[in-house]
Amino acid sequence: MTHPATDAPPPPPPQEAVGPLMRSLSVLRALSTGGGRQAVGDLVRATGLARSTVDRVLSTLARLGYVRVEGRDAVLAPGLLELGNAYLAASELPDRLGPAAERLADALDESVSLAVPDGDGVRFVHQATRRRAMSLAFRIGDLLPAERGAPGALFAADWDEDAWRRWRERRAADPTDACFPAVPPRRDGNGGTHSADPGEDFASRVEAARTAGWSLDDQLIEPGLVAIAVPVRDPRGRPVCAVSVVSHTSRLAAADLPTAVLPRLRETVTEMERTLADPVPPLPDPEPPATRHASWMRASKQELGPEFVESLARGLLTLTAFGTGRAALPLTAVAQATGLARATARRALITLEHLGYLASDGRLFRPTPKVLDLGFAALSGLTLPEIAQPHLATLVEQVHDSASMAVLSGTDIQYVARVPTVRIMSVNITVGTRFPAYPTSMGRVLLAGLPPAERTAHLSRTTLIPLTQHTVTSPERLATLLEQVGEDGYALVDEELEEGLRSIAVPVRDRESRVVAAVNISTHAGRRSPAEDRDAFLPPLRAAAARIEADLHTAGRYVRIAVA
């Protein structure tokens, strides 16, 4: 399914456009619009491509770390978020304006969002949400029709007649907003979820927004949801984004929003505009551009042969050349960052511009919000257990023993992900299970990762009970063990929780190097010695933790990842 305005069949491609890249991106786009998981057969039908072509595309995307193939299904993988991260970093909006949005949300105790125009739609690029039963449910990357929300009227104030014509054509082609899965569909003239068509008075709302300098959303998206938005302008006076404060009619009526919210919202917008006018250049991107290079692609092509679509890898590689301090790049800079020949990079850039993922002024290329269409919204709701699960499954296939992930919960650990192994005698633990932290390998890793004062306070609240004859119950001995775990980077616990049970665990760290979880392998103590288990399990366990961390760091750059 496509969005008629931003994803309508494009004009004939330029002669330099790369056909295999265009066909391959249609597969990734279909998988993204399908919610991030699709049967391979459904992708074949959605794209009209041959099964062999779709299989080759998926093989290439899997090699890139953007997709997993699970049985008959293709599933988007967290690594794909690096494409959207490149756009968000290049735009600088979440990095430079996000902190002010967070402070506004705290001050008002309401959800705050940043949105940018995308064709005749509006796309979210930052969210500062409140934890409530009824709160903002949109995700970074979600696309809304311009007429169904407060920011759209602000952006439409700058539309020319061609833009209005495309908007009318899109509404005629998609009268129920079915191509905007982020919003509830509306009916097309026979009643429905909305008492009025939000597009009927859109022109008058645009004029009112142009005059007032702000726009109101009175349940245009769905009943009960209200919002007010103000544009943020760059030093040349152009609107670069809109800041919306979103509430619910149970808290504020739409008519009350201007009085209750607008003064503080305008103060924040003024602060944001000062930030954008700051001549101090942004810090260099902490993540290197084009993490995969042309040499990596050549090696992949040699290994996978015809199953590796090199033009797809090259095209996606060019998107990762953009980032903080690299908002707009000439052809030469893209070629240098990717290691591609100038002619190859040029064809990839021209193709991506034709498809709408890049824009150019004839010399400089820059990524557009449409890059977020490539799976960002579908993946932005990932949790840490969901990120970890496939890596735990791979680990279990390697070691033939059960693997788990846990987080600290009070004085206990709580299992949040687990992949059991099939043995006559195995460890029977389920997600949600809790154990005291002190006699477990994951608990000791998590305790060792706490700041010293917090660890001391934690241990002071813990009653050390001997669960087996091997359980360490001396506070001094436990403190020494935790210091050693911190130095070693792993914990091995032998029959302290239960007789016959041995486990080894390592930490999982977030982007700020904080220990947020632990992963372990559990086994029967009678099979091998502790040293043999350590030597056998520690390398693959650390490798699995590193893969989890890599996905977590990519996914958590602009999205809050829930740990449970």
Task: For residue 149, give the nearest of 192, 180, 190 by alpha carbon.
Answer: 180
Q: In this structure, which amino acid lies at residue 431? A: V
Given the DSSP bridges, would you call strands 143-145 and 121-128 parallel, antiparallel or unpaired? antiparallel
Residues 171-198 as b or e (16 or more Cβ within 10 Å = b): beebeebebbbbbebbeeeeeeebeebb
Q: Round to whole Å and give the CA distance between 85 and 546.
A: 20
Q: Round to whole Å and give the CA distance between 352 and 349.
A: 5
Q: Round to whole Å and give the CA distance between 88 and 535.
A: 42
Q: Round to whole Å and give the CA distance between 37 and 30.
A: 10
pLDDT tens digits in sequence order for the chain, 564 residues long: 444 444 555 578 888 899 999 999 999 999 999 899 999 999 999 999 999 999 999 999 999 999 999 999 999 999 999 999 999 999 999 999 999 999 999 999 999 999 999 999 999 999 998 765 455 567 899 999 999 999 999 999 999 999 999 999 999 998 888 888 888 877 554 444 444 677 788 999 999 999 999 999 998 888 888 999 999 999 999 999 999 999 989 888 999 999 999 999 999 999 999 999 987 666 666 665 666 677 787 888 888 888 999 999 999 999 999 999 899 999 999 999 999 999 999 999 999 999 999 999 989 999 999 999 999 999 998 999 999 999 999 999 999 999 999 999 999 999 999 999 865 445 568 899 999 999 999 999 999 999 999 999 998 899 999 999 999 999 999 999 999 999 999 999 999 999 999 999 999 999 999 999 999 999 998 889 999 999 999 999 999 999 999 999 999 999 999 987
Kindly report the pTM of this predicted structure: 0.91
Pair of tokens at residue 18: 């790369």
DSSP string, 484-545: HHHHHT-EEEESSSSTTEEEEEEEEE-TTS-EEEEEEEEEETTSS-HHHHHHHHHHHHHHHH
